[in-house]
């Protein structure tokens, strides 16, 4: 337990992920823009800091999971950013789903300071974060990955080293592209069952165990059946991820029409002011398009 850990970002995912490290007995310094969201962690023993720069001064390994690429850039490269005070030979680990190009930029700027950088986005939502069962996709130097692996194992069960800097973020984009289309299928499947008069829980129980079984139907389907559209993963963050994937695809001269279609549905949700619903909130949008009041 000789390493002091830093943690920045204590939202829906980050709070639970940080809690696993605290429960393992590590000393953790924490920062979040809204202190109230870190209250539970502080009560567990986390040390509150006033800025990312202050967290960086104290730690050997620093984790971040914030909202958007601009937030990542501010946390690492801003006036009060991590790279202003991070100690030489420390390791920084960004677990935000962000732009591969930004991960690469942070990696190279950190390397000039003698600091190792990993991009390590996650998948599994709030349930995976709470249960320590996340999938974690890591890019960066293998030596840094091996040092941080015990901490990844506290947070997830499917831990994969994907290669050089940016590789973790590219893998997460593949993940989000698949989920985007799968969510459309999940929503349309349950809307069809609803309109036909079926019991949604019974439908999910049957088809979730067959060839149509997937994470979305088995985890988000029951929430939809209960009318629970609270965020395990915000619509606004999913829109951000899809936008990154479409941008990267364009740079590679790659056409992804299915992703582009899913993106339009979620943009409609944003236009209706529903950006803070969970991604399963698309059920309300497609229901509205079909005259179904949900």
Q: Tell me which residues are annotated as active site.
A: 172
State how beta strands 5-8 and 61-64 pair: parallel
Q: H-type helices in the chain, by residue range?
A: 14-23, 39-43, 52-58, 69-77, 100-112, 125-131, 142-155, 167-196, 200-207, 215, 221-225, 235-251, 257-271, 282-289
Q: Which DSSP helix (H) or strand (E) runs through 118? A: strand 116-119
The 10 Å CB-count burial string (b at 16+, else e) for 143-156 is ebbebbeebbeebb
User: What residues have CB less than 8 Å from 107, skipping those under 6 apart?
Assistant: 117, 119, 140, 165, 166
278 and 12 Cβ atoms separated by less than 8 Å:
no
Spatial distance between the Cα atoms of 120 and 169, rounded to a whole number of angstroms? 7
From 68, 121, 57, 53, select the one nearest 90 (Cα to Cα).
57
How crowded is residue 91: how many other Cβ atoms within 10 Å of its Cβ? 24
């Amino acid at each position: 337990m000789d390493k002091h850990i830093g943690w920045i970002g204590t939202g829906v995912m980050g709070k639970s992920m940080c809690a696993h490290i605290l429960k393992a007995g590590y000393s953790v310094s924490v920062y979040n823009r809204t202190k109230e969201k870190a209250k539970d962690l502080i009560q567990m023993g986390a040390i509150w800091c006033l800025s990312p720069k202050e967290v960086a001064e104290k730690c050997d390994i620093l984790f971040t999971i914030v909202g958007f690429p601009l937030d990542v850039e501010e946390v690492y490269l801003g006036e009060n950013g991590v790279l202003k005070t991070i100690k030489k030979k420390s390791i920084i680990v960004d677990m935000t789903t962000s732009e591969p190009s930004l991960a690469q930029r942070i990696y190279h700027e950190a390397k000039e300071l003698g600091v190792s950088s990993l991009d390590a986005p996650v998948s599994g939502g709030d349930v995976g974060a709470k249960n320590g069962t996340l999938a974690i996709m890591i890019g960066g130097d293998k030596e840094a990955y091996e040092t941080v692996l015990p901490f990844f194992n506290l947070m997830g069960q499917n831990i994969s080293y994907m290669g050089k800097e940016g590789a973790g973020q590219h893998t997460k984009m593949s993940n989000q592209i698949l989920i985007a289309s799968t969510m459309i299928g999940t929503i349309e499947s349950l809307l069809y069952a609803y309109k036909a008069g079926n019991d949604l829980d019974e439908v999910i129980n049957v088809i979730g165990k067959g060839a149509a079984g997937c994470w979305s139907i088995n985890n988000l389907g029951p929430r939809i059946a209960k009318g629970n559209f609270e965020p395990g993963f915000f619509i606004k963050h999913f829109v951000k991820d899809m936008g990154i994937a479409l941008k990267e695809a364009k740079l590679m001269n790659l056409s992804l029409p299915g992703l582009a279609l899913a993106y339009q549905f979620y943009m409609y949700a944003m236009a209706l002011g529903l950006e803070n619903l969970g991604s399963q909130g698309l059920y309300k949008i497609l229901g509205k398009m079909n005259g179904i009041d949900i």
